[in-house]
């Protein structure tokens, strides 16, 4: 479930047996922990006052499993009232869980930007419109969006990841194609980024006699942790999962749990799996990625604690309403 196209070099006895495919982000550990939580919750069934839904969400690496799961009714029957998830994090040591109030992951939108000029002979540049020169100016101008148009205390990313165009050394390029990613924690800034990329690309290209075409593909929304859930659950988490709860800084990474957290109060927890003694220090998406399996028990305890805490709280709220 949800592997990456990377040839595994972890050296583990249970390393991937499929060439060029591995669990480099720890999603196999996530499945193991949720199965562990299922077993524990069955054993502690009597303590549950509500129902618990276990969401084995696939395709977080893309195109995303959360949105189709919601469309198919994953949050209905029983109606889900709040949701939590764990993701392993090799920056945090085993025995810690990171919980961030408010925005924790960024939106991740992709774009393709075409700069259209007019081709010609490289020795007679005045006879054409050089798309490479126009594109260079566009790339430079786009850097001013984050530095000059976004509140310095907010967070935003405009990255051009690829650029290609042209034919050979002595021909004018008639087209340059770029692809990139736009990221933000605030939905208003997210929308502003796309609009500003388009405006700057159009007007700068026009200044060079070229044209710009922007194609935007909306990706995952930002993940925003519910403040009340964080406040209520952080002390329970420390006690029940035997971990140190730390306020991990938000990141500009994307995570499609965002769709669940848009529908119901949500909580994304980062499970520390770093252990230098066993070499569990390489980041996810690396061929040498391994995690400290001692952390799995903490993860299971965290998921069980969430279910027991809010299973009860939800039923109490319902009881009050019915009175």
Interface contacts to Zn ion, rule CB under 5 A: 25
Instruction: For the CB of residue 109, give the shortest distance to Zn ion in the complex, in Å.
Output: 17
Catalytic residue selected from 8, 17, 20, 60: 60
Catalytic residue selected from 2, 28, 109, 256: 2
Return the number of the residue (25 or 69) whose C-beta is nearest Zn ion.
Answer: 25
User: What would the two tokens of residue 106 be?
Assistant: 């960024």
Instruction: For the CB of residue 255, give the shortest distance to Zn ion in the complex, in Å.
Output: 7
**Residue 186 a catalytic site member:** no
**Residue 151 a catalytic site member:** no
Residue nearest to Zn ion (CB): 25
- Which residues partner with 172 through β-bridges? 120
Instruction: For the CB of residue 35, give the shortest distance to Zn ion in the complex, in Å.
Output: 17
Which residue is listed with tokens 């690396």? 286
- Which residues partner with 271 through β-bridges? 88, 97
Instruction: For the CB of residue 60, give the shortest distance to Zn ion in the complex, in Å.
Output: 5
Separation CA 311–CA 302 (nearest Å): 14
User: What would the two tokens of residue 308 be?
Assistant: 């027991």
Instruction: For the CB of residue 287, give the shortest distance to Zn ion in the complex, in Å.
Output: 13
């Amino acid at each position: 479930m949800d592997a990456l196209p990377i040839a595994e070099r972890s050296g583990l006895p249970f390393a991937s047996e499929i060439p060029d495919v591995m669990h480099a982000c720890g999603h196999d550990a996530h499945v193991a922990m949720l199965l562990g939580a299922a077993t524990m919750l069955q054993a502690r069934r009597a303590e549950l006052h509500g129902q618990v839904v276990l969401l084995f969400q696939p395709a977080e690496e893309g195109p995303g499993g959360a949105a189709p799961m919601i469309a198919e009714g994953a949050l209905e029957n029983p109606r889900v009232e709040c949701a939590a998830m764990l993701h392993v994090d090799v920056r945090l040591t085993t025995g810690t869980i990171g919980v961030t109030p408010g925005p924790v992951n960024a939106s991740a939108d992709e774009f393709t930007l075409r700069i259209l000029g007019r081709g010609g002979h490289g020795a007679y540049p005045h006879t054409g419109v050089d798309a490479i020169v126009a594109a260079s100016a566009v790339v430079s101008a786009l850097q001013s969006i984050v530095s000059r148009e976004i509140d310095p205390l907010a967070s935003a990313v405009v990255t051009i990841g690829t650029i290609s165009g042209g034919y050979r050394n002595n021909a004018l390029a008639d087209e340059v194609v770029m692809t990139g990613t736009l990221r933000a924690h605030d939905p208003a800034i997210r929308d502003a980024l796309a609009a500003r990329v388009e405006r700057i690309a159009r007007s700068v290209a026009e200044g060079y006699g070229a044209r710009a075409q922007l194609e935007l593909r909306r990706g995952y929304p930002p993940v925003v942790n519910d403040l009340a859930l964080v406040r209520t659950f952080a002390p329970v988490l420390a006690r029940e999962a035997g971990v140190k709860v730390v306020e991990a800084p938000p990141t500009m990474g994307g995570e499609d749990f965002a769709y669940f957290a848009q529908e119901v109060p949500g909580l994304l927890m980062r499970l520390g799996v770093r252990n230098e003694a066993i070499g569990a220090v390489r980041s996810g998406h690396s061929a040498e990625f391994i995690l400290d399996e001692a952390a799995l028990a903490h993860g299971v305890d965290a998921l069980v604690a969430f279910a027991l805490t809010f299973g009860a709280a939800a039923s109490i709220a319902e009881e009050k309403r019915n009175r």
